[in-house]
Chains A and B, each alone.
Chain A
Amino acid sequence: MTGFRLDAGGVVDRERPLKFFWDGKGMTGYAGDTLASALMASGERVIGRGFKYHRPRGVMSAGVEEGGAIVTVGAGAKRVANVRATTTELVAGLSAHGQNAWPSVRFDLGRINDQLGRFFAAGFYYKTFMGVLGTGTFEWMQFEKLIRRAAGMGRASREADPDWYEVVNDHCDLLVVGAGPAGLEAAAAAADAGLDVILADQDFALGGDLLGAAGPVGRANPANWLSKRLAALSGAVRLMPRTTVFGLYDGVVAGLVERVTEGLAAPSPELPRERLRIVRARRIVLATGAIERSIAFGDNDRPGVMTLAAARTYARRFGVLPGRRIAAVTTNDGGYADAVALAEAGAEVTLLDSRWARNPLAEAAEKAGVTVRQGGVPVKAEGAFGLRRLWVGDHLGGGRARPEEACDVDVVAVSGGWSPVVNLLSHRKVKPVWSDHLACFLPGETTEPIHVAGAAAGVWDAEACAASGKAAGLAAAKALGAWGGTVPNAPGPNGWEAPIDPVYEVSAERWKGKRFVDPQHDVTTDDIRLAHREGFVSVEHMKRYTTLGMATDQGKVGNVIGLALMAEASGRSIPETGTTTFRPPYTPVSMGALAGPERGAHWRPTRLTPMHEAVAASGAAFVDAGLWKRGWYFPQPGETMAEAARREVAMVRSSVGVVDVSTLGKIAVQGPDAAELLNRVYVNGFAKLPVGKARYGVMLREDGVAFDDGTTWRLSETEFFMTTTTANAGEVMKLLERLLQTRWTDLRVHVSSVSDGWGGVAVAGPKARAVLSKLIPDIDWSDAAYPFMGVREGGMKIGRGAIPVRTARLSFSGEKAWEVFTPADYGPHLWKTVLKAAEKAGGGAYGLEALDCLRVEKGHVTAREIDGRTTLEDLGLGKMASRAKPYLGSALKNRPELVRENRPRLVGLKPVAEGARFRAGSILCRPGERSAHGVGWVSSIADSPSLGWIGLGFAEGGLEAWEGAQLVAADPVNDAATLLEVVSPHFYDPSGSRMHG
């Protein structure tokens, strides 16, 4: 017989039926159901298939530890695999499918694996797929293709996630994890004491075990107790249902995931699907409850075998009876109340208690209609597609049984004990402590600001859990100085009268059947003993060899049983055998929630120059330069990038071009010691730079390697405007701050980034002077009045008004050129005005592609050459270094490696064959000797309209060794090689005369 809905009972709302779909079939459940309870009520038994053997599986629990009812929910882009039906809130229109089976979970061809089970024991892949067809990698890789297709559980959607997610920062005094009786009381007590409390629970309804409680809370009806507590808390405490606290981190920080739209049939796209909440608390109460264990007996994975409290929860919380004839199995007193609850719901219940002594609770159970069999244990379950029969036997002790008879049952509900949920404490490296008395791990002592209450602390009785929670809440309030009373004694662990029987496995001599420990990964008790026999004595090895505890439940179901069996096999106690460490997340967290808003273009911020919109309107294509968008080229209709760039280069050299240079790093260096600071960091002298002049400077790293270059302008005795490369702006700022704060603390100078405060253009070409004189008439642009490297300030006419401009006569392109900067909010006016004037003069806009070609033609170095490997001398700038003063890196630049003779030095490169091309990054090799690192590399290339394809690079010994000779640019990645001639890097206007005059 299958499960069915009771006529009355449960906290589901029978006034709100919800239609849902299972493997395409329409069914009905109620608001308040989980997918599992709704499937159970509809009579479905086979919900999933095991990973390895493909055995049919049904619902095995009512919580996050579920190992059988693992399904796929949703379709298309919203499809999610490996979802636990037991924790999935039922919503109208929900569509779920079985997985890991073909064609369906009810009829799966994969089941052949079960027949071949003896070949698929733990670790089989270490012992197979070799030796038959060969022992090499090739052979293994053929098997790998087959294994890959068979492996994996469920299939994820390959479509882009249509939902959005966000990250939220929360602060509170006390974070309470779990809204069962302990958590509710802790939150209430703390809130009464004036603390700011967040109470989070992973379930969509608050109350924990009280939602489907077996018995009263003390004398109070659990439903009444619950509704009173919730009413008192609303408004006093921030309640977060559907929110899992998945990890605890340093600094009393908790990671939470809130499933925002989970309960909504048609969620608004304005809501994020999930929120990652980072909670910074001052103290934490863990009221995370405990998870019931099963027992490993013959074929204990048949659909219909589940944990006992879960069976009771389906009856009491969801109003669903899992079956009509139920064999309840227990090793502890807790099983009695659950068996009674099932009998009261109308099932025919036989309770097998592995303990022979007549239990004090047996009488009341019998009065409620339960047949109690002391000393009875389950031996083997029968019914591959749904439990039909259970073989039962006498318990001979230690899990050994003598089979006696078979009973016809549809459900076997097992309680092998309880495991307090100590995972979050484990994240804080607090090792749990084994209790022989309770046959479970209890939370260890800690100095962290964390209190554990309720079943998580081994307290089994509901009223005691509430008292435990209250004590924890008050203790937290007291620790924070909010409450001055005496914290009441918290109830200790326990709640059972008779001690638990530590049974983990039941077996009978000569009786076959797989006894499952970890149903998700199909790990059996034999696998664990096999691991031990093969020498895997450490529990860490046993875990990885058998894969016990490595599925989506991460050991919630099987860890303790596995540990107990390992202990027995190795003749040690459980604590001696050890325990594996729990790590975040407690339950799976979606990648979307972890990524939050950092997706696509928002993975990192995009930085835009002050003229971005205006440059875009001028027709630019953009390229990424770090975080910045930079104008790349300005194609005319039909032009390719190469054509546009060549045209722009020719335009700059023949009339005038305008380029946005706003991304350059700009640093205000201010104070009486400003000149001294610059003098210490640049290799050349800056102390005597006159006001109104700029100078090109190079900085080294402390180890003597070239670091960055730029021009620095002197605005006054005590103020400089320092520019850096775009890429290193932040690095240079950090370096200067570090030096000033830790080494040169006596210097009276401040540095501040002003990169974003100025918009700037370079105006370059023979007509640059003419263009600028018309636009900025209050500056005398003549060569005499405004010599090379001069700095002048003025105003640019814009309509009836003017914008202030700061200019310098600098040239990166090698033409007559000026850089013109204005405060950023005036940037668009600057671009539009200068560009219009340039176009009138026959010129126009140019971008980064042309800019780079222009400087390569001149042999000017950029970050492609100043790449962290090259020295000043390698770059051909050795003469810049002052001999009169020390500067950053001046000592280490002379270390042997940096001054040895045949270091690779800057050279120019041209292809020998007409029209040939080569790539930056190619290795330069002697012709005929293409190997290893060759003699150097190509650092930059350019497609020059006047010179053809040219490049810059580094070759051992530089021009002295190679000028006029040939090298091969070897490009093995692209399977190419080009014969090159080595020339001077100063291709265009080597004397530099075009900049002057």
Chain B
Amino acid sequence: MNITLEAPYLPLTGKRLRQETSRDDRIKFGLMAVIGLYLIVALGAPLFVMLSKSLSTYRFDLAAFEFQVSDETRTKWGRVVTGDALNRTLAAVAEADLASSTDGRLAATKFFPDFSFRSPVHYRIRGTTDDAAFLVGSTLEKGTEWREYDSGTFRRIMLRPARTLGLDNFKTYFSTPALARSIYNSVLMAAISTVVTISIAFALAYGLTRSCMPLKGLFRGILAIPILVPSLLPGIALVYLFGNQGIFKDWLLGYSIYGPIGIVIGSVFFTLPHAFLIILTALSIADARHYEAAASLKASKWRTFTTVTLPGARFGIVSAAFVVFTLVITDFGLPKVIGGQYGMLAVDIYKQVIGQQNFEMGAVVSVILLVPAILAFAVDRRMQKRQVALLSARAVPYVPKPNARMDGICFAFACLVSFFILGMIAMCQIAAVVKFWPYDLTLTAKNFAFDLMDGGGWSAYANSIRLALLTALFGSVIVFAGAYMVEKADAFRFGRNVFHFLAMMPMAVPGMVLGLAYIFFFNNPANPLNAIYGTMTILVVSTVTHFYTVAHLTALTALKQMDPEFESVAASLKQPFHRLFFRVTLPVCLPAILNIAIYLFVNAMTTVSAVVFLYASDTKLASVAVLNMDDAGDIAPAAAMGMMIFYTNVAAKLIHALLARGLLARTQAWR
């Protein structure tokens, strides 16, 4: 009775076995292909096109032009010379100055030092290629045909640069001090804001988890407020508080709020909730047994703090630091409003594209902005992976004991921060209802008459709500379906990994970059999806994509909590996967889906960066209106519109809470 045959290796006589595909598999595969395609079209392809755009350079190709000069009688013509040859003998234009932009122009007279517009000689010019272009005044001429001009007209001849591929744009970027300086500025601002935000967030989270201070719930609520407003709003509040007519101008001791100070204060305001939530979570999972051990060893408070509290929360702190760093370095709204002349990368993109129509340079700045964001993202991912192993299932939750002094300090600090947050919002509220700050402080509703201002009027507000609702609806569906495929589809391992990678990417892609990439990709007549350019659809797609990662992770976490064998059980019971999905998966994950929906809604209301390049005249948005009204100097209406966004988000949060409660009562009875 010999049972086993000790064959040394797998007897592979033919191909590997392949499981026959069931109908379920085919449906799942189809769904996954659809959603994978969505992410490729909405993220991968646009970024690729943008990358290639940053390498698309404009350069004067002097060899592409030929000139001929007549004598004064205009009967005899001189030798035909290329612009290149002329420049070599004259050195009229330095090699570096040949690098140009779409808008570049080079006067042809530069190559004729003895040119005089009164001279009777005539000039001939032609291109040696069909694409060689030049202007006569403002008329575009192209092609290899000789054209003859008198000297008065020849003065108006401007050569146009030719499009090539290369790193010239990057060279130009780094040789322009103001632009290159922005890298330093952005990193510096992000670093300072990160240190300040993390310190404050840690102190707050520490107070909420390790002390018995009162009103913890209220403080949590107040700390969530900055998420509900666009990042432009703290900028506007700071102008009113510390600007030249600001109430507390003197506090700055003569320094201007426009610039680094404003950027840091505003950044702390809008990144605080993010850092606070992450660190709070990290501190909440602390193990009481460690504190008991420390107490039994008679460790001092400080020593307990440095050996137990800090190490326990260190992954949370690092993670929060990267989130804050990325948010600040990629934010566009705040430095736009309060940054003054302090160059920041995200604003440079806007200036290059909207201010100078230099799309290529915008793409270059975008690529540069991607670097720190991706670095921060990659490091954070690595850290996250290590944290999982640290969690112990048997940890005992820590329950703080009352300590009057400690509780008092924590309470006072929380009050101070809450006062800061509420103060900023209150300032905007006051600004929104005052007639003419600071000269006429009577109350008025005229700042809400948005239709009389640039920016889009009340229809922009309606558009924003429409965008937020559509984003919440389609975003939740796409994100949840995608996460379901990643987590539950049992085959197509490769596809799932690619998909998951794509889903994680938006976190590292700044909104400005995404928006610009969309212009390049969708606004191309050769692209069959060109039709969505300038519609609400592209705004929804960009917003869903921009905020994809966090939503995806939320969905994934919810799905991971489900027993992985549900699918196997359903298959053994011969039930199609969609029945399991709608009967079990969806109802069980409903709370998470509602959270995703409200997350997408709130962010769609406040986002500026991705959509600022994409909105069309009939799809203007409230958040962009805040930007544009502020840009035009209509700061009070900008504040008013910002407050409208705030009210809307508060209302949405309340509705979400009610809805969640109602729905959960019906679907989550089992909990």
Q: Do A and B bind each other?
A: no
